[in-house]
Amino acid sequence: MVTAAMVAVVAIVAVVVLYLVYRGGSTAPDSAASGSGYPHVAGEPSVGAPAPAFTLNSGDGRPVSLNDYRGRTVLLYFQEGLSCQPCWDQIRDLEQNQSALRAAGVDAVVSITTDPATLIGRKAADERLTTPILSDPDLAVSRAYDANKYGMMGDMRDGHTFVLVGPDGTIQWRADYGGAPDYTMFLPTDKMLADLNTERIQ
């Protein structure tokens, strides 16, 4: 026979369970706020290592060197190129969030991919992008940064790698987002900055 005491106990247990479920749901955003929630790894060369030097042709035909950014903090964005529209959307999102990048201490963004410079230039013009996009057709720079291990196309193209190089040429932060099995090809700039601000070492 069900007594009033048993009903009260069941009601109390139900309230406690509901509270715990609610509390768990309400704390999830707080824990996710400390990072992007997007899975990533940090490949080699890693934080604290000298960033490999390079000089590559940009889409507008001019050579661009990492040394051109000495004394500034530059975010290198390795991406899959012409076949990856989300990668171009990523560049657009970075351009639209320049104030947030500056607030995070990022002075400049440079993108690197493996397509020919002329085709990159045409695509950038079509997309109305102003970010320097550099051509690395033989993957020499991509391999130096080990950025061609995280994409859907195997090691023949880059994945979705961000490398933050400090004013002294040292890597301050790195995140490789494009690896299997999720193959993240776009993440909002604020999510990327959440990881940068959490993981960066100066």
Mind listing the pLDDT tens digit for each residue in 88-117? 999 999 999 999 999 999 999 999 999 999
Tens-digit pLDDT profile for residues 154-165: 778 888 999 999
pLDDT reading at 121 higher than 60? yes
- C-alpha 78: how far from chain center: 9
What is the model's pLDDT at position 50? 98
pLDDT reading at 52 higher than 90? yes
What is the model's pLDDT at position 38? 86
Residue range 34-61: average pLDDT? Answer: 91
| Tokens matching residue 51 | 């960033």
Separation between Cα atoms, residue 91 and residue 100, nearest integer Å: 14
Active site residue 87: yes
Residue range 173-182: average pLDDT? Answer: 82
Q: Please report which confidence band the pLDDT of residue 201 belongs to, taking 50, 70 and 90 as the band edges.
A: confident
What is the model's pLDDT at position 18? 32
Residue range 46-52: average pLDDT? Answer: 97
Separation between Cα atoms, residue 175 and residue 152, nearest integer Å: 16
Contacting residues for 73 by C-beta, under 8 A, at least 6 apart: 105, 106, 107, 108, 164, 165, 166, 167, 172
Q: Which of 66, 84, 87, 187 is catalytic?
A: 87
Mean pLDDT of the chain: 83
Residue range 36-54: average pLDDT? Answer: 92
User: Which residue, 166, 170, 158, 174, is CA-closest to 41?
Assistant: 174
Residue type, 195: D
What is the model's pLDDT at position 3? 53
Is the entire prediction scored with pTM above 0.85?
no
